[in-house]
């Protein structure tokens, strides 16, 4: 399913009266413009007008370029769940489902207009699922302004096919209800224990301390060391079976392993810093797999959130409501398409090249130019 085909699946949510442009035309022009660097509805209109011939050669019945108000109204009316569902169909079409780590993490997209605070209720907040092996965003879920990530994460998990995947979530996702949702989805989990879960954290620390290891022969550990760029890092993962989970870990569905990861970092000649975190997992004891899965979780920050902030300037958006959520999804789609390109330049450079070179643009979009009959 290329981007033009994707546009044809988007439902028409407008009043039938006075329609000038088709849904396919509005969505396709908006998507291509975002791919080529447009960041506002006005910039989408400007890009469309400056490349009108290009769009007419690919949309044979296009009579002109919609105004910024038309784009804004359409994506404000477009139900975010409908758009998300089509996005997931598109993702399933371009990649095969491969077992591996799926990192789930939240990100503030923009500040709510007229808000004075900086908390979650004052910003539009999205939870995204990132497939590490495929390097793709599998989906997103808007966080209710009256709630938090804890309610959005289960909804996202239920909507995705995570069979045989390893779901990693930072400390906010360490909830009994979330472990149940993951297990019901036929997936496994590695969850970071929160600091305020003092009883659980103290129990793991107690069982996995250096002094106790000799008394518990089932403990396993894995070491990893990296040197480079003036920095040294040493990591150790120690894990043990979660014995008698129905008694000691009641309510944590599927729990099989407890783990403790210690990371020591030294930059140059500075004093080393040590960080220790505790985890629970439904995986069997495998300290190497647990350590590597936890490390790969941060790809959602580096490869998705950082790119959306730096290359797509998502933090600077002034859009609101459905328009902001739908625009965020279009940015994710553009990022996915650009990541598929093997050209050895950065994402920002690829966006510029899409705007400059029609041939490269069509290669990214996976479409061919349609020559009108009069030519």
Give the separation between CA 330 and CA 27, rounded to whole angstroms: 10
The confidence score (pLDDT) of residue 120 equals 45
The confidence score (pLDDT) of residue 375 equals 46
The confidence score (pLDDT) of residue 255 equals 95
The confidence score (pLDDT) of residue 243 equals 85
**How far apart, in Å, are the Cα atoms of 14 and each of 3, 278, 326, 328?**
21, 51, 16, 21
Do the Cβ atoms of 358 and 54 come closer than 8 Å?
A: yes
Give the separation between CA 336 and CA 174, rounded to whole angstroms: 29
Residue 108 bridge partners (DSSP):
125
Give the separation between CA 344 and CA 149, rounded to whole angstroms: 36
Strand order in the sheet with 101-111: 136-142, 123-131, 101-111, 166-169, 188-192, 273-281, 257-267, 231-241, 220-228
**What are 303's two structure tokens?**
């490869």
**What are 289's two structure tokens?**
């797999």
Buried/exposed 314-332: b ≥16 CB within 10 Å, e otherwise: beebebeebbbbbbbbbbb
**What are 165's two structure tokens?**
């995947």
The confidence score (pLDDT) of residue 36 equals 95
Residue written as token pair 């990371």: 263
Do the Cβ atoms of 315 and 305 come closer than 8 Å?
A: no
Residue 256 CA to chain centroid, in angstroms?
27
The confidence score (pLDDT) of residue 114 equals 47
In tens digits, the chain (375 residues) has pLDDT values of 788 888 889 988 888 777 889 999 999 999 999 999 999 999 999 999 999 999 999 998 999 999 999 999 999 999 998 898 888 888 877 766 567 899 999 887 755 544 455 454 556 788 899 988 888 888 888 887 656 788 899 999 998 889 999 999 988 889 999 999 999 999 999 999 998 999 999 989 888 876 655 555 557 888 888 887 778 889 999 999 888 888 889 999 999 999 999 999 888 888 889 999 999 999 999 999 999 999 999 888 888 887 887 778 776 666 777 888 899 899 999 998 998 888 889 999 999 999 999 999 999 988 765 554 454
**What are 143's two structure tokens?**
């966080």
The confidence score (pLDDT) of residue 32 equals 95
Do the Cβ atoms of 38 and 44 come closer than 8 Å?
A: yes
The confidence score (pLDDT) of residue 316 equals 64
Give the separation between CA 326 and CA 322, rounded to whole angstroms: 6
Buried/exposed 74-111: b ≥16 CB within 10 Å, e otherwise: bbbebebeebbebbeebbeeebebeeebbbbbbbbbbb
């Amino acid at each position: 399913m290329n981007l033009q085909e994707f546009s044809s699946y988007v439902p028409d949510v407008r009043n039938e009266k006075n329609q000038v442009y088709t849904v396919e035309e509005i969505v396709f022009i908006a998507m291509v413009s975002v791919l080529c660097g447009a960041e506002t509805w006005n910039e989408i209109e400007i890009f469309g007008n400056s490349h009108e011939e290009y769009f007419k050669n690919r949309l044979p019945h296009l009579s002109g370029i919609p105004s910024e108000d038309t784009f804004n109204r359409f994506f404000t009316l477009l139900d975010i769940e409908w758009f998300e569902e089509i996005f997931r169909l598109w993702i399933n079409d371009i990649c095969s489902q491969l077992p591996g780590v799926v990192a789930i993490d939240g990100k503030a997209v923009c500040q709510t207009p007229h808000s004075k605070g900086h908390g979650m209720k004052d910003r539009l907040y999205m939870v995204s699922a990132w497939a590490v092996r495929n390097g793709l965003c599998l989906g997103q879920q808007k966080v209710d302004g009256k709630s938090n990530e804890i309610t959005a994460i289960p909804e996202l998990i239920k909507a995705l096919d995570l069979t045989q995947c390893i779901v990693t979530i930072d400390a906010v996702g360490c909830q009994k209800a979330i472990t149940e949702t993951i297990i019901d989805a036929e997936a496994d989990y590695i969850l970071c224990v929160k600091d305020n879960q003092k009883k659980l954290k103290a129990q793991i620390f107690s069982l996995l301390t250096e002094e106790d290891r000799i008394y518990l022969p089932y403990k396993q550990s894995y070491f990893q060391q990296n040197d480079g760029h003036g920095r040294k890092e040493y990591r150790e993962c120690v894990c043990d079976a979660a014995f008698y989970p129905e008694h000691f870990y009641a309510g944590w569905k599927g729990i099989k392993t407890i783990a403790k990861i210690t990371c020591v970092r030294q930059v140059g000649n500075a004093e080393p810093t040590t960080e220790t975190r505790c985890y629970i997992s439904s995986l069997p004891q495998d300290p190497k797999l647990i350590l590597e899965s936890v490390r790969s979780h941060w790809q959602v920050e580096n490869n998705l959130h950082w790119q959306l902030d730096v290359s797509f300037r998502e933090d600077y958006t002034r859009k609101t409501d459905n328009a902001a959520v739908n625009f965020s999804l279009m940015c994710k789609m553009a990022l996915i398409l650009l990541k598929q390109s093997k050209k050895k330049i950065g994402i920002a450079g690829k966006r510029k090249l899409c705007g400059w070179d029609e041939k490269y643009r069509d290669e990214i979009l996976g479409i061919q130019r349609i020559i009108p009959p009069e030519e």
